[in-house]
Chain A
Amino acid sequence: MASTAALEVLQSAGRRRARRREWVAVLGRAVRTPRGAIGLGIVGVVVLIAAIGPAVVPYPPDNFVTRPFANPSLAFPLGGDVLGRDVLSRTLAGGWQLLLMAAVATLLGVGLGAAWGVSAAYFGGRWDTIFMRIADIVLAFPQLVFALLLVSILGPKIWLIVLAVAISHAPQVARVTRAAALDICERDYVRAAQIIGMPARKVIRREVLPNLTSVLMVELGLRLTYSILIIAGLSFLGFGLQPPAPSWGYMINENRIGLVANPWGVLAPVLLIAALTIGTNTLTDAIARASLGVGRGADDALLPSITAAGAMT
């Protein structure tokens, strides 16, 4: 029997001790794959350009420093825009707001959607029906049209655009979260918490949500991609940062008439937006794959919902 005790000590030494926030672990695994590294690299470069760009502009972005649609030259590497402003300066200065708006809209949208979906799954029955039918109604509007509708009624305010995009995300996130949470809510550990009379809020926060981490991470990445596109699109249509302030979306719009004269006025923001969305999407894909690898029992149940989210990209 002494040797048995020795064996147990030996076995317990093999078990890893204090662990891990799951999202850190998943992210770590994701960026160690080639796919994740490339995605993170692309996103990193674009974010860096947008973040430090305003500080390193060669000319004030709103000043007329050259002639309209000037060809690229040493002094103006990307030439001039429709009014003779420096395209490089405007590109460097015009990204941070898009990124910030997209990030806030995504966080809000996924937060709202997660709360919505988990509540529907947890309370079930009549509540489930009510919550999900409301989601269906919101889903009936195409996202961009929904945002346009709100903004054109209430005016092009930045906070309103962010809110509109967030609200348009929420029902889609709610669907995915609900599907994943339905399974978790039937688990015995949720029952065990209910049996001792734990309030619903606490059960959701402590027992259900932590088990949805990977689903929510994938949703965050996916929705971020959509947010960037929608906000850039709204900005292209003139809803967003008002001229003369530089923004990537509106740059495409104002410079498209000079596409032949100096294509960089359009190409620079287009390439950056494209690179950004490709980067976030690639990274999200890597995260989805990495979170499948988390596997080990409980996560297997989330497998279908994660792959479904992946398929949507």
Chain B
Amino acid sequence: MTANTADSGAANTSATNASAAETSAAGTGAASGTGAVSGDGEVVLRLVVEDLQVLRASSGGPAAVDVVDEISFRVQPGEVLGLVGESGSGKTTMALALLGYVRRGLVFGDGKVLVDGEDILRLPPGDLQRLRGRRIAYVPQDPSSALNPTLKVGTQLREVLDSYSGDHKAREDRLAEMLVEVGLSTVPAILDSYPHQLSGGQQQRVGLAMAFACRPELIVLDEPTTGLDVTTQRRVLETIRGLCQSYQVAAVYISHDLAVVSEIADHVAVMYAGRVAEVGSAREVFTAPAHPYTRGLLRAIPSLSDAHMLIGLSGQPPRPGNRPPGCFFQPRCEFAVPECEAGQPPMIEVSPTGHSARCLRAAEVVALADTAGGPPPRPASPAAKAPLLDVRDLSATYGRKTVLHDIAFAVPGQQCVAVVGMSGSGKTTLARCLVGLHPTWGGDVTFAGKPLTRGIRRRSNAQLRRIQYVSQNPYASLNPRRTVGQIVEQPLDQFERLPAGQRYERVVAALTAAALRESFVDYYPDQLSGGERQRVAIARALILEPDLLVCDEVTSALDVSVQASVVELLRQLQAERGLSLIFITHNLPLVRSIADQVVVMNAGKVCERGPVEQVLEDPQDPYTVQLMADVPKMTVAVGEA
């Protein structure tokens, strides 16, 4: 492989090469179809996707509905392409399409997927099957369900190597080599372990070893670090990056997390509603986005280094078969002009390096990056009042095991305290203790001057009313058999006997406070999007006009643009209603945009606490320092130029 020049230098170099390849392809027409070697330089195109289309298999319907369409991109050996999109944008469909696979109910339409010049979509099934694993490898999202729990790791790795050329000795050597490369060689008896005996990070490394075992030419990574904590994520990302370069493999990294993609990818393709909205080098896309959607996404991402307001995107992405006329983004777009409704805009190139976007006003959007500043800074919180909640020496147990040790912190009135920690740090147990769901704890907790009793049964109505809880997963927190109106009304039923009319008014008031319309009363949860569901959960918590809202990872199940609007909603409620918040999260940058105080937890202990600026700018505890270092940072954010 000769493309060492492309990946060794800065992203700029590879960008130039890519565009050179593209121009030559357009100019001579030689590369299209074969895509192997371009005229100038020695650029090899490992993966070429041309006008790929995946359709919903329609049985006798009028017209086939496309799930993804007009997808074109190229990846060189040693290069990582980040494929970014929110849920429903078609990124997983794309990942599987690169393996020549579609989910049940979908079919390939037009277009090509060329791996080293060979169109894998035209291969007979047998050949395609032999290709997978050997020349095209896949790393799935959840390693714990991808590995067979009943087979030892060694057995599973050797299974993959069976298709690797060479005799037994060569395979065993290769196996040993792989373990070193993915950083598993130091784990004792790794080959004789079962998957459940390994940590999540180790499991994902096994997945990587399986993927790289046969020295593939193309590797597709489907959100491989989702579910890992930031420290593990960082190490796995470094491993992936190193392997891609040393093997000169072309990688497609699929993720919803722009910060992660900005760390690993050379090039980025942003997907929206089954189309590539914008493509370009990572640097260009993140510093000077050309598509209003990318711009919107970037404005929604919290930053660890400055406390800015998070601006969500209004509306929802359209579903296949229900897409608006013209540009698919036009109904949500702040740059929309009447021409946008006329037809699907073409890819418009905005820089000679190949940075292009599917937007009529791409050039204007790019120009904005230089002139307009970043998102506005977040407004100041109301002044702190006397402590509402005071936690001292709280220790909690599960059976004989103590999971929380001497937790101490205070929540001042009208302030937001973020509790930050990785999974297993005990932060959710802490929330459950405070709301009364986990009664086996000891210590002094006072709420509004009175001691807080342990279980729900012993709490007074006043305490129950004044502390409300919003839980993590809005898909599980609403009863699917009850309407939004019934759900929101429920706490009211419990505490107040009101005539129907007044009750309805209160429900509507709560919905309005959570930025939902009155018409939502009759909907069932399955008719709502994730963000709307979480707003309903917030409305349910608000209807009793509580003083303290405990929010447990309320945005972790939501897309980044929706997360932004939910966080902004909470911040406004805090300001307008004098609400105190306990905001539990694993997302450090998010803390910056919402919290006044922060409590960092590790292994059931508080390791650092203080005002948010102080902790995030000058962390004292080694754990906090490490955490801060491992958080993936957007190397470049919109408007910072």
Contact = CB atoms under 8 A, between A and B. Distances in A.
A196 B314 CA distance: 32
Nearest to A186: B476
B436 A210 contact: no
A213 B330 CA distance: 42
B522 A296 contact: no
A192 B540 contact: yes
A195 B436 contact: yes
A3 B331 contact: yes
Nearest to B463: A197
B477 interface: yes
B149 interface: no
B315 A188 contact: no
Interface stretch (A7-15, A155-163, A259-267): A7-15
Nearest to A298: B480
Interface in B104-140: none
A210 B540 CA distance: 20
A198 B494 contact: yes
Contact of A7 (B315, B480, B494): B315
A22 interface: yes
A17 B522 contact: yes
Contacts of B473: 188
B627 interface: no
Contacts of B461: 197
Interface string A1-37: 1011011100110111111001000000000000000
Given A192-B469, A196-B491, A4 B315 contact: yes
B564 to A, nearest CB: 15
Contacts of A19: 524
Contacts of A191: 437, 469, 471, 477
Interface in B259-278: none
Given A187-B476, A189-B476, A210-B482, A195 B315 contact: no
Interface in B528-543: 537, 540
A193 interface: yes
For the side of the interface on A, what is the size category?
A: 35 or more
Contacts of A12: 517, 519
A4 B461 CA distance: 42
A3 B476 contact: no
Contacts of B465: 196
Nearest to B472: A188
B332 A4 contact: yes
B324 interface: yes
Nearest to A198: B494
A15 B537 CA distance: 20
B560 interface: no
Given A193-B490, A197-B459, A210 B481 contact: yes
A299 B490 CA distance: 22
Contacts, number: 94
B314 to A, nearest CB: 5
B456 A195 contact: yes
A189 B525 CA distance: 12
B475 interface: yes
A213 to B, nearest CB: 8
Given A12-B519, A194-B456, A195-B435, A4 B469 contact: no
Nearest to A209: B481
Contacts of A11: 316
Contacts of A3: 330-331, 336
Nearest to A13: B519
Contact of B477 (A14, A189, A206): A189
Contacts of B459: 197
Contacts of A187: 476-477, 479
A197 B331 contact: no
A18 B519 CA distance: 11
Interface in B503-530: 517, 519, 522-524, 526-527
A211 interface: yes
A254 interface: no
Interface in B432-454: 435-437
A229 to B, nearest CB: 33
Interface string A171-203: 000000000000000011101111111100000
A297 interface: yes
Interface in B335-392: 336
Nearest to A17: B522
Contact of B334 (A1, A188, A197): A1
Nearest to B332: A4
B464 interface: yes
Nearest to B459: A197
Contacts of A211: 479-481
B481 A196 contact: no
B623 interface: no
A62 interface: no
B473 to A, nearest CB: 6
A7 B324 contact: yes
Contacts of B334: 1
Nearest to B523: A15
B481 A22 contact: yes
B495 interface: yes
A307 B436 CA distance: 36
B357 to A, nearest CB: 20
B479 A189 contact: yes
B478 interface: yes
Given A7-B324, A188-B476, A297 B464 contact: no
Given A188-B476, A189-B479, A211-B480, A195 B469 contact: yes
B124 to A, nearest CB: 35
A161 B524 CA distance: 43
A207 interface: yes
Given A4-B331, A192-B471, A297-B475, A197 B480 contact: no
15 contacts: A7-B332, A8-B315, A12-B519, A14-B322, A192-B469, A195-B435, A195-B436, A195-B456, A196-B494, A197-B459, A197-B461, A197-B494, A206-B490, A211-B479, A211-B480
- Which are the 6 A-B pairs with shortest beta-carbon distances? A188-B477, A210-B481, A298-B480, A7-B331, A189-B479, A188-B471
Interface of B: 314-316, 322, 324, 330-332, 334, 336, 435-437, 456-457, 459, 461, 464-465, 468-469, 471-473, 475-482, 487, 490-491, 494-495, 517, 519, 522-524, 526-527, 537, 540, 544
